Structures are given as structure tokens and as C-alpha cells.
Structure 1
């Protein structure tokens, strides 16, 4: 076993495991701001993890973890799918995206009990910073600097587009509600500050263009109400209905952005044949094309790498004018994406991943238990609207929070 303690001239330096844990905190704080920084920190964590050794001890921590094995099964299916793949270039692209999920068991063994509160705190602080920048851009206080990665000033989501920003903001808002109302360890001053942040950040949600983020925010808000009134049905149902029936129309009537995005979505669905390259119209066409591919290959799919080639073939037969879909790497729906690639096996692997999370939630005594249910609900919903399982930011969020929530060591979550 390697000696994992470094000795300097001035005394003992932190163990490699401690350094790695702080790198994980840093990753939580920075991954929403930079793809390069996120990848670099993941690489450093992996290298230090390998250098540290203690592999037998680490394996003991994860060998009975259902979440780890569900993730492994999901990634393994992509390797198996190479057997009936012909497009190896696209297969390499897919594998590069999906093999990152193998960091889950590594990150679980990096977690340290004394740092457990810092990981989600660092993530939440990073979102506070992003929301502050977003307001600065919206109010013309901060110019749209190129470093902020803005595609358009009309959508003030710094570093990432609204497709990523709003869903991640929605989950952050849920975490704030959880901290205020379901945690007993915070002082009233901290809770008051968090409630103020919740209001400010909720308004920001409806100043930006991410429709899925706004939808999943309402879903998580509904879930939170049921968790707050634990064990009851009628009262939380009425409260949740009242909140959704108030917030949704208010957002539509008061926010020109929300109003425009909803109206545009309805128009594009109704006219997807006339406007095949519109945002929502293209999604409809991609789903129709993908359903045909699933019908052709219901059991095993087209393989890990053949989605793009097969999609282009079917699209040119059905919707040759929908050219934008031919340059995209997924059908904007994770469930359909997995079924196109692996047929029924793909859907089963994805369902098993959700099952493992819910199973560990039911068995858990962690104070994070409410979040352990919100997490799969969040991904279950957003997976319907985009290829989030391949997205850099949503993948890192999955790795980070999934490792914390489903470590399987209750003592690590206290």
C-alpha cells in the first residue's frame, strides 16, 4: 500500500485523499463556468485517486452500492453496443461522453465525511454568482463580455445557454427550499437569507428563456410541497395546485420572455411541417424519425455509433427539408435516444438507473433523503426534452450530486 501522506520541510502536508476532496469542492464551485476547468479537475481527481492506491479499501465502499452497479450497467451497454456498430467515428464520440459516468464510483470513494456539507454548498454558491451575473447583464450593469459565453444578450445566461442554465437553477431552488424547511441545523438568520435568495433567483428563472427549466421548477416545487406535508395527500395536493395555478399564469402574464417562448412553442408544434428547422418543430420531427428507427430495430437498436448515420437516412426519406436535425448528435429525448441505440435494452438500463436511486432513497436514513428523491425526479423530467445524458454540465452535476446522495454510507451524510 502506498504512503499517501506527503512530508514537507515544515511538517506533514495534507493526505492525497484530503487534497482530492477539496478538489471535488472546487469542481462543484467551478464546473458551471468552464468546460475546460471541469474536465481538468476531473482529470486531476482521477490521477490523484490512482496515485493514492488503497484500491481494496475503496472497492469495499462501493461493492454493495446499487447505484454504482446501475451506472456500470448503463456504461457497459454502450460497450456491448459496439458489437453491432459500423460508424466508429460517431461511436467514439458517444463513448467519450458516456464513459465519464464511470467517475461515479471514484467520486464516491473521494468523498470525506468532514467535507460533505461543502460540496453542495460550493455548487449553490456558484449558482448564486451566476444569477448575480445574469441580473447584471439583464440590467445593463455588466456588458456582455465574450468571456461570459453569451450567445445573445436577450437571454442573459452567463457561461451556459438557457437549455442548461434554467434546469440547473431549478434544482438549486429546490435545494434552497430543502435547506430552509427540511433542515433543522440552520439558524433563522441563514434561513431568512436563503428565502430572500429563493425569491431573487426564482424571478431570474422567468427572465431567461429555458422552458424546460421553468417546467421542472414547477414539478420540483410540487414534490417539495408533498415532502413538507409528509404523510398527507389532500392538503399538499391543494397547496401544490394553488402554487402552480398562481405561478404559471403570473409568469406568463408578467414576463414577456415566458409569454413569447410559450406562444412560439405552440406555434412551432402546430406548424412543424412548414417550419421543420424551428426549435420545437425540429424536436417533433426528430422524435418521429427516431420512432421509425425504433420500430425497425426494437430489440437491440442500431448500436452505440450508428444513430447519426441511420437518422440521416430516415430523415432524408421523411423530412428532407429538416436539415438542422442531421447535424445533431441526439434526438433531444434521452429515453428515445437510448431506445434508438439499444432498443428495449437501452430503456431497461435507463429504468434500472432510476430504480437504483429510488431504492436507495427508500432505504436511506440520510438527512439528504428528500433530495435523494428530487434528484431522479429532476432527471426523469428533463430527459424528455434534450440529450442531457450527454451534456457536459448536466453530466457533471449528475456525477457530483449523484456521488454525494448515493454514496451508501449514512455516516458520510451527517
Structure 2
């Protein structure tokens, strides 16, 4: 009986998968009518001469032409005069091959969604409104502004039943990928039930549930491979690592190892300080504070790696991370040359698996590791392979839109070269030459890099707090004001956002973009606001502790400096010690560095005991 049920479920699962894979990406609205002019009032903002290209124009039959502005986003605010069930279809008009728009949709000033539209990606949003409701459409550039020919079609479905069915259909589209993953997991479970008596499968289960340490090491490799590729798999792998680490036992020995490592003491101090700051957090913001602190479960794999990784797996893990970056790079180039498309990404900003700012940081960090390998490899064929990889990853960095990694690259490059050579005329000349030649070539041959650098120069000389750089400057000003009001213990981990909004409202009401940002884009400033001078210095002490970890292996020692310079410098423009991926990156490499230190220390103790 169970066999028949299993096989039936397998057949149904495969049929649903086939149905989902063949699902169309847009709903053809049957019985929908175009939005009529007497149904709404439209007000536009930032449509002015000094905001080049900015357009938000109503045309006929509920269709609107939208072009992003060069300096500020184009904004349209609809106020509705009656109850409507709306279907909004966002697309790029035919004729544009490079259009790329970041649309934000708000209802009554509450954010509903944010979508990125390209010539190959069209999206639909379903919104029900009542009389006097407002709907705000913010169209911002995603890359350069040229040919951002946005098209918005708004339709009304008066038949509530049909509208509900269409909305359900759209929800299926939104969750299609997650449903597909669930179905594949279900199929794996059903196949296990079908073939549970198969001897090789039984041997595999025996290995999983008896060889805890080996499983941890294999999971660490998977963890390293997936950090550049899939945050969902990173989470799942981290959870499995923790489970097998608990099953492994030997906690007395592990605790001794952990207590001897200053890096972990610094981390514990920071997290305890954040927990303590909940005491002076406003009651209504406690949930925000707890949510902020729970994010630090992402560093638990560092303890697993430190205490349980086998020494021979350390270089394998490093290679696994570089393999993940290679896969990411190949996908990025495929998007750039338009061999493939990924929803939310275009050839103007080919950052395939993460935001372009974080991707640029990962690329700069990986370039440092590759340069380190070029300088330390003994075999010429290895040097050639690493040189090719270094060249392609550097080019990938400068065709992307992440300015943080592009600036960071110069410091990473300098730290690797200076770390390997004594400070002589030759080493200084070589370093300076590379620091000048690489940006010059990027500026000459990468239109994206050239555009971003010109924008950076213009933004610095003519500060507008609605631009990316201007908003960061504005946030630092706000953080400074808050810190000076609470310099010793800060305002508490739960109040860091509400206090920001209050400060902007009171002192800088014209800087609306600063208010909308969800963190301070400066990790040092964020910790200073949350926990005062103690929070700031506890974060700095983490880097000092890591730098003072003495590693004799030249590759790992150089990676230590690359990691510190990457995370510390990138922290000046982003929340590098609170976002998921940077925390995972830090957990992996800090874990490998201190694990290398542990093995070297054990070797030294062993040699000294033999000599005695």
C-alpha cells in the first residue's frame, strides 16, 4: 500500500514540477479595463531640467512612460478617487536593449515591493485601493541612466473573484522557485522511501550518522563553496555543521581551545555589550534589538571550523571558496555578454548572486587571495592559472557597479605586495605602478566603471543627499549627532533606527533618502550609535585581536591581513558586520586563520616536548 502511495506522490510531484517550469511569467488579465483619468490624480516629483532624462508621463489607456533621472529618481504619486482592484505591469519599452530600472512601490507611504526591471524581465504587482489611498511609484536607475524607457500599465479588475484568482496565480509565480525547491526535496524523500533497502544508500546513512568529524569537514567545504553562490544553502549547511558539531561532543576540550583565543573573547564582549544595551532600549523597540542580535548566529560556524576542521582540509576549503567565486564570475560574464538572464540583474550590473556592493567586496577579497597565490606558488603552471584567474576577476570587478570593492581593491593589492616584499625602491615602484595602471585600464575600457567614477566625482563636488554617496554622507552626519548625545553607552540596539528617523525629522527634514535607509552604511558609526564608545572600540578590538594572531604559514598570514583590510575598510561604507554574507565570509576565514594558528601552536608544543 505504501509503495502505491509513494509512487502516486512521485508522479504528482513530477507533474506539478512540469506545470511550474512551463508557467508563463505574466498574467493575461481577462476582463480588465485600463485605468481611467477620472479614477485618480497624479502628482510627479523630481521632473526638472537639472535632473536629466527624468520623465513620468501619463499617456492613453492607463499607460505611463517613465524614465529615470540622472541625479534623482523619478517619482509619481497617485491619489485614487474610488475603490479599485489594480494590476500594475512594469516593463521596459521595446527599442531599449539596455534599460534597467529599480522600481519601489509604496501604498500610503508604506513600502509594498521593490523590483528591478530589464528588457527581459517584466513584473506584475496586485494592489487593492480605496478612495483617497495613495500609491507611490519611485523609478531609480540601476546602473547608468541611458535608455531607461520604463513602461507602466495599470488595469482595473472589477470582478473580485477573477481578481482574487489572478492574485493567487501571481503569488504562485512569486513563490515558484521556493515551491520547486520544496518539491525536489519531497521527491528526494519519496525516492528514499522507495529505495530504502538499497545497500549503497544504507552505507551512506551509516557514514553520516557515525563519522561526525568527517561530515563536519565535508560540510565546511560545501559552506565555503556556497558563500558566493547561495545564502539559503549556506544557512542550511551552517545548521548541519552545528548539529554534527554537537554530536561530535568533546566540549571540555573545545571550550579550552575557545577560551584561549583572544578573537573569541573580543566577539563575546561585543555581543554581550549588544545584549546589555537592550536594558536602555525603549520597550516598543525591543523586538528590533533582539532581531539585530540574533543575526550573529551566522558567526557560530567559526567556532565549528576552529575546533573541528582537519588541518589537511584548510587548503581544500580555501580552494572551495575560490571555486565558488569562479562559478559566480562565469555567471556574471554570461549576464554581461547576454548569454543568459537572471531576474533582477542586467548586463549593466552583472552581480549574479548578491547585491553589487557586496559582490565587489567579494571580488576584491578574492583578487587578494589570488595575488597571494601567484606570489607563493612554486610551480609555473600554477602561477599561470592563478594569473589568468586574477586577471578575469579583476576585470569582473571593474565591469560591475560596486564602487566599494573597486576602491577596496587598491588597498588589498597594496597590502599583499607590501606583505610579501621588503620596503625597497623596487617594491614601492611595482606597487604604485599597479595601483595606477589597473584603474587607468578600467577607466579606459570599462564604460560602467568610467560612468560610476564620474558620478562619484560629481556627487562629492555637488553633494545631493538623495544619491548613494550623498545618503552615506548624510547618515554619517546623523550618526555623529546621535553619538555626541549618547557618547558613553549609546542609545541601545533597538533604538538605532527610530532615533535616526527622529534626528532626520528634527534637524534634516529635507533629507528623505537618509531616513529611508535601513542601516547606517558604516559599521563603526552604527556600533558607536548603539553602544557608544564601548561599542566602537569593541568592534575595533576584533580586528586587533585577529591581526595579533601569529600565523607562520605565509599564505594564511597574508590572508589574515587581506581579511582585516577588506572587512574593516568596507565597514566604512556598509554594515559589514551585520549583513548575512559578510558575516559568513568573516566566520569562514577567521575560523580558518585561528584553526591554522591552533595547529601551528600544537606543533610547536609537540616539538618543544620532544626536545625536552
When normalised by structure 1's length, the TM-score is: 0.90
Equivalent-residue separation in structure 2 for 1:10 and 1:154 (angstroms): 45
Which residue in the other structure is 1:189 paired with?
A: 381
Q: Give the deviation of 1:64 after TM superposition.
A: 0.8
2:314 counterpart of 1:116: yes
Q: Give the deviation of 1:100 after TM superposition.
A: 2.9
Task: Note if contact 1:269-1:284 (Cα within 8 Å) is conserved in structure 2.
Answer: no
When normalised by structure 2's length, the TM-score is: 0.62
2:373 counterpart of 1:179: yes
Which residue in the other structure is 1:5 paired with?
A: none
Q: Unaligned regions of 5+ residues in structure 1, if any? A: 1-7
1:366 corresponds to which of 526, 530, 553:
553
2:593 counterpart of 1:401: no
Q: Give the deviation of 1:75 after TM superposition.
A: 1.5
Equivalent-residue separation in structure 2 for 1:103 and 1:137 (angstroms): 32
1:107–1:217 distance in 2 versus 1, CA, 3 Å: same
Paired residue secondary structure (2:489): coil
Q: Unaligned regions of 5+ residues in structure 2, if any? A: 1-201, 604-612
Higher fraction of helix = 1
Which residue in the other structure is 1:316 paired with?
A: 505
2:459 counterpart of 1:268: yes
Equivalent-residue separation in structure 1 for 2:416 and 2:204 (angstroms): 50
CA offsets 1:191-222 (integer angstroms, 9 cap, x no match): 21111111122111111111111111111111
Equivalent-residue separation in structure 2 for 1:223 and 1:9 (angstroms): 48
1:227 corresponds to which of 419, 430, 433:
419
Q: Give the deviation of 1:12 after TM superposition.
A: 6.8
Equivalent-residue separation in structure 1 for 2:218 and 2:403 (angstroms): 34
For the pair shown, the structure with the greater C-alpha radius of gyration is 2
2:269 counterpart of 1:77: no
Higher fraction of strand = 2
1:145–1:364 distance in 2 versus 1, CA, 3 Å: closer
Paired residue secondary structure (2:348): coil
Equivalent-residue separation in structure 2 for 1:35 and 1:300 (angstroms): 33
**Count, aligned residues:** 396
2:480 counterpart of 1:282: no
Q: Give the deviation of 1:314 after TM superposition.
A: 0.2
CA offsets 1:356-388 (integer angstroms, 9 cap, x no match): 01111xx32234112122211121211111111
Where does 1:248-259 land on structure 2 (aligned, <5 Å)? 248-259=439-450
Cα RMSD, aligned residues only:
2.0
CA offsets 1:253-312 (integer angstroms, 9 cap, x no match): 32211111111122223333xx32221111111111111001101111111111011000
CA offsets 1:13-71 (integer angstroms, 9 cap, x no match): 36101101111110111122222111111111111211221111212222211112112
Q: Give the deviation of 1:108 after TM superposition.
A: 1.1
Equivalent-residue separation in structure 2 for 1:62 and 1:183 (angstroms): 32
Task: Note if contact 1:28-1:120 (Cα within 8 Å) is conserved in structure 2.
Answer: yes
Which residue in the other structure is 1:154 paired with?
A: 348
Q: Give the deviation of 1:325 after TM superposition.
A: 2.9
**Structure 1 stretch 100-109 or stretch 338-347: which is displaced more?**
100-109
Q: Give the deviation of 1:93 after TM superposition.
A: 2.2
CA offsets 1:103-154 (integer angstroms, 9 cap, x no match): 4223311311121111111000010111111111111112x133xxx34441
